[in-house]
Amino acid sequence: MIKKCIVLFLSFALLLGVFPILNVDAANRPLAKISGNSNPLMDHKLGADPYSLVYNERVYIYMSSDRYVYNNDGSIKDNDFSALDRIQVISSADMVNWTDHGAIPVAGANNKNSGRGVAKWASNSWAPAIAHKKINGKDKFFLYFANGGAGIGVLTADTPIGPWTDPLGKALVTHSTPGMAGVTWLFDPAVLVDDDGTGYLYSGGGIPNESDPASIAHPKTARVSKLGTDMISVVGSATTIDAPYLFEDSGIHKYNDKYYYSYCINFAGTHPTQYPAGEIGYMVSDNPMGPFTYKGHFLKNPHTFFGVGGNNHHAVFNFKNEWYVVYHAQTVSKAQIGTGKGYRSPHINKLVYNTDGSIQEVQGNMTGVAQLSNLNPYTRVEAETIAWQAGITTEPTQATGGPVSNLDVTNIHNGDWVAVGKADFGSTGAKTFKANVATNVGGNIEVRLDSETGPLVGSLKVPSTGGMQIWREVETTINNATGVRNIYLVFTGAGNGNLFNLDAWQFTPNTGGNMGTKVEAENMNIGGTYAGKISTPFDGVALYGTDDYASYSQYFANPTHNISVRGASSNARTAKVDLVIGGATVGSFYFTNKTPTVQTLSNITHATGDQEVKLTLTSDDGTWDAYVDFIEFSL
């Protein structure tokens, strides 16, 4: 973390280059995470000093709560770390779709977090580390954090997302803890639970004397402490880790029975080439308490990859038999305010070992990692599960049925959207889409595939529910959603304020073998000379001229259906609408007056598989129009 050396860090950034101020992205466009990329992990909020936990086939990322701090004139000031009093949590089963679990209000001293802070003695919660251990047969989670540079605290919970309690009511480790004397900055914890269940806590950083080359080269301010079986006590005296050119950011992981201690190399003085400033170096030992031997470095300073420097902070983890490193970079803040100003966001890239156990240089980028598994759209999906987004934020919600720390998506304006990657609809596809919403205003959710302007497969009208935390589930039909596709929920509506809040969504599968038994005309593609959408006498489509049409694609498992269309004529004259499936005209509908009626063609034979369904106006002399509400198929 950037603590006492902010001036040094900013100077380093200036030395690395001067960067132009970028324009803030317009609403409805992604800020920093472009569709298809996996980095940064999120761009609707910030998060620094990431640490990982793998549990129950999910990876959880815990972060310091970087939040913009403002000058009196409303401009964003350089990060002074005064907002680091919470810990942000996100998780994913596939490394692309990340669920926002919100912020843990850790610091509680001096009414921090509006009196909700769990650790009433702590003024800060910097650089979290997390561990899981079974104690007396029960899962327990231990969240370590730094109270500034003065010590390490710990919170406990029965789940990875809380609720959290403070078991000690004070710091676990301070400068008076045996072996901690001489630690300049007592912060940046890392934790390892070894195969035998023993826990080890790593911490420390800083240079005792920055004018002394020997102190710069060997600060000797890193420590490792053995934890008690309860994970909230220390055993014996801490051991010094002589990490060359140490600055901060302890990391620990185990690979092939070797213990890898990694850290951020300092910026002071002149370094030998094997200790590059601001990069992640690593040491190896046969024992978690050391001694450790320096082996090299594997992650360059973020400036190398993203054009904005600062400190380096990381954690190494294994997920589904692949190794990764999570780290932070100022990519979101750079996209929003230009130079970044010290505000950071989480990234993940793959980490690769050589056969001798050395680590290859990690290539940081915005592309990130590939999605490891498909998302199931037929189970409840929290709206705050996001791969990509434009314009939205999240907030704690009163909606029921979600996780312990449930959020909703809010700050929704016309044209904003959220998306998830690789949802598997299967071969028969989705029948309906439902969402839990709350609003005073209302609006619409367009369900699109592949992009925010991709094929429209459904449109959900969101009515007023009577309040922004008064929740109601609404549902609509879906057509032509099969296979593995990215889902984009595009929000539309009138007005400039928040249209509605979205808690969760879910599709239902088409069990009858056909996609979408009923399709609303306003969700179809329209073409011809004059075709357009209407709201009277119903929400639908008007076919004004000969060969105007409304069409869509549908999957048919069965070759014969009864097919109904609801429609009307603009006057007393008869409007003829031909039904074309797969290029073949299979029948016609005749609407003779302004009153909407449903007409049915029985036992119509047509092609199977994916086919274009088209309703085409014929024989128009310019004095009447055909209005179409919906088409419906039944066996």
Active site positions, annotated: 49, 248
DSSP 8-state code for residue 573: S
d(CA 87, CA 71): 24
d(CA 578, CA 567): 12
Edge-first strand listing for the sheet containing 322-329: 314-319, 322-329, 345-350
CB within 8 Å of 355: residues ≥ 6 apart: none
Query: Counting Cβ atoms within 10 Å, is residue 138 exposed (0-12), middle (13-18) or buried (19+)?
Result: exposed
Q: What is the DSSP string of 485-501?
A: EEEEEEEE-SSSS---E
d(CA 466, CA 572): 41
CB 505 within 8 A of CB 487: no
CB 424 within 8 A of CB 482: no
CB within 8 Å of 131: residues ≥ 6 apart: 53, 141, 142, 144, 191, 192, 193, 199, 231
CB 86 within 8 A of CB 76: no
d(CA 276, CA 297): 8
DSSP 8-state code for residue 555: E
CB 479 within 8 A of CB 456: no
d(CA 565, CA 226): 73
